[in-house]
Chain A
Amino acid sequence: MILVWLLLIPFVGGLLCWQGERFGRGFPRWVALGTMMAVLGITVWLWITGDYSLTLLNGQSPRWVEEFQTSWIPRLGISFHLALDGLSLVLVALTGLIGVVAVACSWNEVQRNVGFFHLNLLWNLSGVIGVFLAMDLFLFFFFWEVMLVPMYFLIALWGHNAPGGKGRVFAATKFFIFTQASGLMMLVAILALVFVHYTATGNLTFAYEALLKTPMSASTEWWLMLGFFVAFAVKMPVVPLHSWLPDAHSQAPTAGSVDLAGILLKTAAYGILRFGVPFFPNASHEIAPFAMWLGVIGVIYGAVMSMSQNDVKRFVAYTSVSHMGFVMIGIYAGTTQSLQGVIMQMLAHGISAGALFILCGEVYERLHTRDLREMGGLWSRLPILPPIAMFFTAAALGLPGLGNFVGEFLIMVGSFKVAPVITIISASGLILAAVYSLLMMQKAFFGPTQSTEKLRDLNFREIATMLSLMILILWMGLYPQAILEITKAPMAGVEAIYAAAAKTPAAAVAGVLP
């Protein structure tokens, strides 16, 4: 039942925010903050009290730490099934955290229609939590789409019309169409999987556990895997399908960007880990080299593109593309080590990219520009913000001792055994990361100043937000064991499925590839 609360609290909180605006602008903000604090609190409680060592995908049926199931649409074999294991838990916790941060960072920025803004923000978070918890494919798709509409509104109504861009409505529409079109392909694949299972067993069901062991021919498996893969690749985003991301980020309000980079991109990686690989192990194994090369292209392309950006939010967006390339490599390397690295990378990137977007927003509030060419010399004009920016840039470039380093390091180590060439090439991404990060620092904070006028420094709320994120990144960098332990069991499960697929004779997939 506690899982239902995780969904309901933001949902109801959103309604309260909307209707509560009549009590003043402060009311929705406090309600939203309280709501996300409650979600975060519940996940922390679950983290402390639950036993996550047993959750496993391999062997018999999956075992969940928490579960909730009730009949929904029995005609089509659909049930309302939520479940939680270590993988879901860390991502839901991240969602709670990013939610709190997103509410905090829009405290001053959003002045118009505060109630409706928080309604959209909270419903979006509710949808994301649903994605992380759903164990019925219909329900999963349901939440996958539900989280889009509020995000669309966040970008279209509270976004910026960045100069040179095509406008916030354009960006929001592009984001929506990209994800929805690929989502429908996934829906077709889901239904095809369900019917394959139905023809094989005579049992019409959308349940995750039942569909896991669906027998199917190699070519069917390939096509279905592609349907899922495209949807997740668009959301991740993988390079040829990434073009919505910089647009969406550059036009979105700060909270929208934080939300997008912090958790929405993670739903894709989660989807591959939870559904893509376990449903189609053989086909995933076949596509792994291709996917990893896509990851390498993403790492390098994102890094190179970010060097030439003048809009600081587009810069962060392209660094996200680069970091998500590592996630792609790690997932398809498929060793426990690399998969755990993927989780670390997702969490650390969620926090560091979120923090960088908040810093962009704070600079924008003070300078009214996001153009790097109009910044310069900010270090002398602001006492506290630049060092914080330095910290998170260092985190993003993978400085040892901070969370991102652990993630990238584990992904590299784990992938090297599987694909040494790919790993070596992708390692150049680390060097490029240092280059583009320092370039950005140089352009924004050092060099000649545009003016000597002092700017308003961070207030208590902003410092508190930043400080807590810094502590978290440090904690993840210095003592990653806490997170690694929780995600060990599910990741080992994914590895086991992978390893089993690697052993199947090539004859099983003969005739699929030319």
Chain B
Amino acid sequence: MTRSQLLAMLPILFTSATVIWVMTAIAIKRHHWWNATFSVVGLNLALIGCVIAYFVSPQIVTPLLVVDSYSCFYMALVLATGLATATLSHAYMEGYDGNKEEVYLLLNLSVLGGLVLVCARHFASFFIGLELLSVPLYGLIGYLVKERRSLEASMKYLVLSAAASAFILFGMALIYSQTGALSFTDIGARVAAVTGSSYTVVVVGGAMILVGLGFKLSLAPFHLWTPDVYEGAPAPVAAYLATASKVAVFAVLLRYFIEAKAYQYDLLLDVLAALAIISIVVGNVLALLQDNLKRLLAYSSIAHFGYLLVAFVSAGSLASEAVGVYLLTYVVTTLAAFGVVTLMSSPYKSHDADTLWDYRGLFWRRPYLTAILTVALISLAGIPMTAGFIGKFYAITAGVEKRQWLLLAAIVAGSAVGLFYYLRAMVQLYLRAPWVRKYSAPLDWASGTGGAMVVALMVLMIVLGVYPQPFISAIQAAGLH
């Protein structure tokens, strides 16, 4: 392994070291603040490692991993999300009376899985990354072991996620049986030559992988777990689940499509287009009457991945750029929304503040926190001046460029329906509450790292919405060709 290959691996190496470091630290002495700080420092080092890796990229490290500008961008995104989750967890876990420290261990492990996933160019690393990403999540979702909803969510996720992984593994095996290849590029080259009954086997294999990924991305009709798990999971974990885990999976999906030249198969694109439409419809319609903010965000994330698939399917010259911009805006917005939910529920006291009633009249108690949630909801709805609009704009642009009128109609209709529930949630924040609420963020919410992070996210949402050019340039530089 050459020096530049090692440098390219820095983010992954740093994160792995952080895992061991944090584990050792916990073994020596349990101390919440120190352990949180260790993992945050480790993740920050990994983030710096991304920058170093960018300068030596592109590097192919073993047949399994590739570190190019594309993976650097997505590694940075996953790491930043991990960092945000860690800071949010710190405020949140303060109130938990069990062992708090392992959260950071599990989180770092999961981030490591995400990093491997976005660098994967081979089915083996694809699967390792995916499992490394998902398995720690079982523990994270069920971390509040004394709460029934949390445990239930964890079990549900465990069973379904394992089933999905089995699907993916079997699909890989089927494709391997006919092509004898595992790396993305080889598969692409050999599938093109496959004919007859072997072709059917490959199609079945591809379909099984798609089902598994559809589950991980919570695309309808594989979305059934999403609202329950988001509702039961601790708020910071739900934030991570909605962002980093999906971003990493989507990044590898896009890389597979481009490296294996899957864009030439119309059948595949038609299936994805159908998934997009179903996700937009199901996500938006089921969100309409939700009274639980976490469930509402879960359904909204289903719909958002429908919009994202539109950009993905109508991949013209803009494909990886549109997907990158959309994912960036989605991550920033979703983290901000879940961040406010986390701060409202911090420190943890037996139940998260998740019903809309808990937020009624919040503006008159915590005006700035409410402003952040308002901007996040407006951004989710895709109104200009916020990040969400730029993302939606790119999705629609990609659709128009490829003349996908049906998909565009779905976006327009979905957005109109979506407005209803975003506004419904938003106006609750401003209506006067007739009685004193049980939940409110602590008065000094902004002085902690979690609060500072959420404020920074709000600034980022507005900057992205008003002056997106620098971000677009960065994403353009990180494109796959």
A residues adjacent to B (C-beta < 8 A): 72-76, 141-143, 145-146, 148-149, 152-153, 156-157, 169, 172-173, 176-177, 180-181, 184-185, 187-188, 191-192, 195
Contact = CB atoms under 8 A, between A and B. Distances in A.
B419 A192 contact: no
**Which label, helix, strand, loop or mixed, suits the secondary structure of the A interface?**
helix
B58 interface: no
Interface of B: 378, 383-385, 389, 393, 396-397, 400-401, 408, 411-413, 415-416, 419-420, 423-424, 427, 430-431, 467-469, 472-473, 476
Residue among B384, B427, B431 with max Cβ neighbours from chain A (10 Å): B384
A187 B396 contact: yes
Contact of B408 (A75, A146, A188): A188
Given A72-B467, A73-B468, 10 more contacts: A76-B472, A149-B383, A169-B424, A177-B416, A177-B420, A180-B416, A180-B419, A187-B393, A191-B400, A192-B400
Nearest to B363: A116
A146 B467 CA distance: 15
B412 A148 contact: no
A146 to B, nearest CB: 5
B430 A75 contact: no
Contacts of B419: 173, 176-177, 180-181
A390 B419 CA distance: 41
Contacts of A75: 469, 472-473, 476
Nearest to A73: B469
A195 B468 CA distance: 21
A152 B381 CA distance: 14
Contacts of B412: 181, 184-185, 188
Contacts of B415: 180-181, 184
A76 B384 CA distance: 16
**Which label, helix, strand, loop or mixed, suits the secondary structure of the B interface?**
helix
B383 A148 contact: yes
Nearest to B432: A112
Contacts of A157: 427, 430-431
Given A72-B469, A75-B476, A184-B415, A146 B423 contact: no
A180 B378 CA distance: 12
B378 A149 contact: yes
Given A180-B415, A181-B412, A145 B430 contact: no
A-B CB proximity, top 8 nearest:
A181-B416, A191-B400, A184-B412, A142-B384, A145-B384, A75-B472, A73-B469, A156-B427
Nearest to B469: A73
A184 B472 contact: no
A193 to B, nearest CB: 9
23 contacts: A74-B469, A75-B473, A76-B472, A142-B384, A142-B385, A145-B383, A145-B384, A146-B385, A149-B378, A156-B430, A169-B431, A172-B423, A173-B419, A173-B423, A173-B427, A180-B415, A181-B413, A181-B416, A181-B419, A184-B416, A187-B396, A191-B400, A195-B401
Given A73-B468, A173-B424, A191-B396, A184 B411 contact: yes
A192 B383 CA distance: 20
A420 B164 CA distance: 69
B109 to A, nearest CB: 37
Contacts of B385: 142, 146
Residue among A74, A143, A184 with max Cβ neighbours from chain B (10 Å): A184
Contacts of A145: 383-384, 389
A305 to B, nearest CB: 26
Given A73-B468, A73-B469, A195 B400 contact: yes
Contact of B397 (A143, A152, A191): A191
Contact of A152 (B384, B401, B423): B423
Nearest to B476: A75
A149 B375 CA distance: 11
A17 B68 CA distance: 49
Nearest to B393: A187
Contacts of B431: 157, 169
A496 to B, nearest CB: 30
A73 B383 contact: no
Residue among B393, B413, B473 with max Cβ neighbours from chain A (10 Å): B393
A149 B413 CA distance: 19
A480 B130 CA distance: 72
Contacts of A153: 430
A188 B430 contact: no
A169 B397 contact: no
A73 B396 contact: no
B416 A169 contact: no
A296 B318 CA distance: 45
A152 B430 CA distance: 12
A360 B411 CA distance: 40
Contacts of A195: 400-401
Nearest to A78: B469
Nearest to A157: B430
B472 A73 contact: yes
B400 A188 contact: yes
Given A185-B412, A188-B408, A141 B384 contact: yes
B420 A173 contact: yes
